[in-house]
Structure 1
Amino acid sequence: MATDQAQEAADTETYEQFEERVKRIANVSNASGVLQWDQEVVMPDEGTPARAQQLSTLSSISHELLTADETGELLEALESSELDDEQAAVVREVRRRYDRETSVPGELVAEISETTANAHPVWKRAKENDDFETFAPVLEDLVELKREYAEHIDPDADPYDVLFADYEPYIDLETAERVLERLRDELVALIEAIDDGADLETDAFAGEFDDDGQEALARDVLDSLGYDWDRGRLDTAPHPFSSGTQFDARVTTRFEEDDLLGSITSTIHEFGHANYTLGLPDDGYGTPLGEARDLSVHESQSRLWENHVGRSRPFWEQFLPIARDRFPALEDVTPEEAYEAANQVYDDNLIRTEADELTYHLHIVIRFEIERDLIRGDLEVSDVPEVWNDKYEEYLGVRPETDAEGCLQDIHWSHGSFGYFPTYSLGSVLAAQLYAAAEDELGDLEDDIRNGDFDELNGWLRENVHQHGKRYTTQELIERATGEELTAAYFLEYVDEKYGELYGLEEY
């Protein structure tokens, strides 16, 4: 008995040492996140050289802490210890990161961090000047660096598969490809039917809307949804994003004077991300138990709020009067007209972030196919603009006239984020599956949305998704929340019913 107690005490001490180290690593990473937020939101234009070095240094420190011999020794000791389920989950997640990062030289990690920090302003200028050739050398460097990174982790694997696992470690690439192919095949038929369907009200939000009014309305949106201002803030960025921790989850959006609807949906989307982050358990901060379960789940939260709530008929019945108070020019717009405008399908839209709920996934397919071919060496960087334009013409029937509207429109490649794009579609699929499961348990949520009461829906998400952090793998989390593995069936059923009714499609 004494021996058992002594071993238990030793295991407890080992785990405490391990957790302290994990929290140090997390704090360095979270500090980097604040600097990255600052770079994209408020940093002066000439701040990049110093910021690149700062981020590179923090990246190196985080890498060194994680890959140090002490971390490996603690992991090895804990794997033969008696751990509870939560402790075992923390060890599992850190072990996975440790195994991957010990495969990658620290110098390469630092080089990737510095290159991506310097790439951001180059991409920004290239996009502003419609000059892909300016960005091409940086993109070539990033592709080569990420190939090298993937080779260090698993020299025998498809390098794109390795990179995809950085963003979605527990859904394999084959599953992602299967989902994307099913969406592409089935949505094309629906979109073609819509082309021949009824006309919708498309000019409900036509006009000019000043930035100050749009910012006030964005704050109204966040108030309506229940955003916690004591742990968040709203700012603007060229490419909206959300970042932070459960104690500080910030939202950014953007305003264009002729696109009020875009700022509303963008704000709701980023609220979904921040709301997930804020729902993570406070006592899990600094460990995987207080971190989001990777990008597909994160995107499911933004898509659920943006599409299943923010593009719904009852939402516009509730929110339109608030919008009218800010912009009296909307006085004659009806909730039905607002609903139709929010769900208009534009098959000729070149911009992913402005795409409708259906054609959006074809934008993702294009990016996925191009970046996969880049990483595999089947496509040269110099050929990206032409291939991009050809795919847009093939899949969407439109051809970009400029690279700013084409292959330079997204920020992701300047971050070195190859493998990220599939998670957008996986997230939309999961959003529909989660929303269906919530309604199965709570009943029809339309009245709640119509009354601006989101407590039940948010409570269900907190209980079934947010509070678990990374305790479960992605597939385990999905099965616990919905009773099924990830499936595209709920998303396709949802869009068939919604758009069939909107456009008067008999076969849907």
Structure 2
Amino acid sequence: MSQSSSYQTIEEHAKRLHNLEQTDHLLRWDSDVMMPPEGTTARSSQRETLSKMMHDLRGADALGNALDRVNEQQLSEDKQAVVREIRREHEVTTAVPDELHREIADVTARAHEAWKEAKENDDWAAFAPVFKEHVELRREWAHNVNPDGDPYEVLWKNKLGYTSQPHISLSIVNRVFDRLKSTLPPIIEDVRESDADLATDTFTSRGPYDAEIQKEAFETVLDELGLDWGRARFDTAPHPFSYGNPHDVRLTTRFDEADPSSGFTATMHEFGHTTYHHGLPAEHYGTPLGRARGLTIHGSQSGVWENHVGRSESFWEFILPIFQEHFPQLEDATPTDAYEAVNQVNESNVIRTAADELTYHMHIIVRTEIEQALIAGEITVDEVPHLWDKKYEQYLGVAPDSDRDGPLQDPHWSGDLPGFINYTLGHGVLAAQVWAAAERELPLDDQIRNGQFEPLHQWMGENIHQHGQRYESQELVQRATGEKITADYFLEYIEDKFRNLYNC
């Protein structure tokens, strides 16, 4: 096999894998948006087939032979990056016996059904046995991939496909999370003790808000933000998401008729992901050069648009007239009112998905610490509810009244471990770092106030989107911001924002 044919085989496998994953994402989108209610059985079978095909492609002997024979030193830097990324996925896949892959697929399918029943019945004991199996199988998976590594870090760094986040060490995660858990609780406590009187009911006191009219209002804002409708759809889903590529993105949101800001912040979040999909180099579609650089980088994009743009007072100065045009009951609301409403800190919050921007990341830290202890064998699955309550009391000063509102509130542990790190590392920490870097070059506050979003799009495209997976994660962050991942900018942003809001 020649050098050129070896590389060609590698690239062909990469493109087939990407197309299969994109097809799976379309099936997931369809199941949430358009599929008839009785389509679940067939859809599960279809997605299972695609998953098996992707697994077989990643571990194919033909791909392994091509990777063995290719001489990376004779390749361009771009082609070396393609080989690096495909080699990683092939090595991880072939390190794990097929039987273990099948066992994990089986247990995650059973675990999800067990989780749904356990949550409905508020019964952790009904979920615990299958969760124990899942934890044990993940430990076994990690041992196969790297018998000498920390199992939790092996799981974190060796995910495959869209959910992957290689090239960021667990020590970085732990260092960032340690700073957050020592810095955020005092701010949370001071905010809760503050007697500041914010306009928290700006939206909720003026309802209801028709869902169809909300959708029209959100679409008008997306127009102003520069969404390319020729390459995107905007629909409703039970849990918002954004899947796609430079040519086709499926953007979804939800609607709360009591409070339009809930669905709107979800829309801004998913729009951030959409900008990344649209900004990837179309000429490299199908190869790692045309794929996002993992969920941490992806999360930075959703965090920038949801929080740094969407929750800013300058943004509400620009878009509040759009909301008032669609909802006349908001005619006496001010941009400051709206700003305070979308940035309020909830007095008592035990549900992650309903958390505010300040307290949200403590929810992630609780889950991550419990995951680490489980994988390390330091605690048992049966001890999770007690530890959960203890950590919530310690970090947030609240505790759930039930397991339904405690460790059963999220479905993630039925399907993945680790399940939560990227929510904070990307959406919170890296988003603030990226925003600070862009702000050093652009007058963002004035541009946002005047509805000028193209400069921010261009900055993100030039510094992040266009590179795909050309660089490893930390190198991409270094090139874009001048530093590797650090919590400094996030903590400065959070402290300044919420101490000013609450006069504390």
The alignment's TM-score, normalised by the length of structure 2, stands at 0.92
State the Cα deviation string for residues 448-507 of structure 1 (Å, max 9, x = none).
Answer: 1112221000100000000100000111001111111211111111122222322223xx
Which residue of 2 is the match for residue 3 of structure 1?
Answer: none
Which residue of 2 is the match for residue 478 of structure 1?
Answer: 477
1:70 partnered with 2:91? no
SS in 2 for 1:264: helix
1:158 partnered with 2:155? no
Tell me the distance in 1 between the aligned counterparts of 2:121 and 2:326.
35
Which residue of 1 is the match for residue 198 of structure 2?
Answer: 200
Tell me the distance in 2 between the aligned counterparts of 1:403 and 1:79.
54
State the Cα deviation string for residues 346-370 of structure 1 (Å, max 9, x = none).
Answer: 2511221221111111011111112
Say if 1:106 and 1:138 are closer, same or farther in 2 by CA, change over 3 A. same
Tell me the distance in 2 between the aligned counterparts of 1:498 and 1:404.
32
Which residue of 1 is the match for residue 438 of structure 2?
Answer: 438
Which residue of 2 is the match for residue 426 of structure 1?
Answer: 425
State the Cα deviation string for residues 298-348 of structure 1 (Å, max 9, x = none).
Answer: 111101111110000011011111111222221211110100111112251
Tell me the distance in 2 between the aligned counterparts of 1:322 and 1:398.
37
Tell me the distance in 1 between the aligned counterparts of 2:386 and 2:254.
29
- CA positional deviation for 1:46: 4.7
Say if 1:88 and 1:251 are closer, same or farther in 2 by CA, change over 3 A. same
Which residue of 1 is the match for residue 94 of structure 2?
Answer: 102
SS in 2 for 1:441: coil
The farther-off stretch of 385-394 and 355-364 is: 385-394
State the Cα deviation string for residues 36-64 of structure 1 (Å, max 9, x = none).
Answer: 33334444555444333332222222121
Which residue of 2 is the match for residue 464 of structure 1?
Answer: 463
Say if 1:217 and 1:134 are closer, same or farther in 2 by CA, change over 3 A. farther
Say if 1:257 and 1:50 are closer, same or farther in 2 by CA, change over 3 A. same
State the Cα deviation string for residues 202-241 of structure 1 (Å, max 9, x = none).
Answer: 1101133232223223323322322222222222333222
Tell me the distance in 2 between the aligned counterparts of 1:188 and 1:498.
15
Say if 2:10 and 2:86, in contact at 8 Å, map to a contact too.
Answer: no
- CA positional deviation for 1:99: 1.1
Which residue of 2 is the match for residue 4 of structure 1?
Answer: none
SS in 2 for 1:233: strand
Residue type of the alignment partner of 2:236: T
Say if 1:80 and 1:470 are closer, same or farther in 2 by CA, change over 3 A. closer
Structure 2 unaligned regions, length at least 5: none
Q: Where in structure 2 are the equivalents of 1:92-171 lying within 5 Å?
A: 92-117=84-109, 119-120=111-112, 122-165=114-157, 166=159, 167-171=164-168
- CA positional deviation for 1:155: 2.2
Tell me the distance in 1 between the aligned counterparts of 2:402 and 2:17.
42
Say if 2:234 and 2:250, in contact at 8 Å, map to a contact too.
Answer: yes
1:59 partnered with 2:44? no
Tell me the distance in 1 between the aligned counterparts of 2:128 and 2:248.
36
Tell me the distance in 2 between the aligned counterparts of 1:26 and 1:357.
33
SS in 1 for 2:249: strand
Q: Where in structure 2 are the equivalents of 1:169-318 lying within 5 Å?
A: 169-197=166-194, 198-206=196-204, 207-318=207-318
Residue type of the alignment partner of 2:16: R
Residue type of the alignment partner of 2:14: V
Tell me the distance in 2 between the aligned counterparts of 1:382 and 1:469.
42
Say if 1:118 and 1:232 are closer, same or farther in 2 by CA, change over 3 A. farther
Say if 1:107 and 1:60 are closer, same or farther in 2 by CA, change over 3 A. farther
Residue type of the alignment partner of 1:37: W
The farther-off stretch of 63-72 and 473-482 is: 63-72
Which residue of 2 is the match for residue 11 of structure 1?
Answer: 3
Say if 2:280 and 2:467, in contact at 8 Å, map to a contact too.
Answer: yes
Tell me the distance in 2 between the aligned counterparts of 1:124 and 1:309.
35
The farther-off stretch of 305-314 and 378-387 is: 378-387
Residue type of the alignment partner of 2:171: E
The farther-off stretch of 336-345 and 419-428 is: 419-428
Say if 1:224 and 1:133 are closer, same or farther in 2 by CA, change over 3 A. farther
Tell me the distance in 2 between the aligned counterparts of 1:429 and 1:374.
25
Say if 1:239 and 1:411, in contact at 8 Å, map to a contact too.
Answer: no
- CA positional deviation for 1:372: 1.9
Structure 1 unaligned regions, length at least 5: 1-6
Say if 1:107 and 1:32 are closer, same or farther in 2 by CA, change over 3 A. farther
State the Cα deviation string for residues 347-404 of structure 1 (Å, max 9, x = none).
Answer: 5112212211111110111111122222233333333333323322222122222333
The Cα RMSD (Å) is 2.1
Say if 1:220 and 1:202 are closer, same or farther in 2 by CA, change over 3 A. same
Q: Percent identity?
A: 52
State the Cα deviation string for residues 93-151 of structure 1 (Å, max 9, x = none).
Answer: 11111111111123333443454355445544544554444444443333233222212
Say if 2:185 and 2:396, in contact at 8 Å, map to a contact too.
Answer: no
SS in 2 for 1:249: strand
Residue type of the alignment partner of 2:450: N
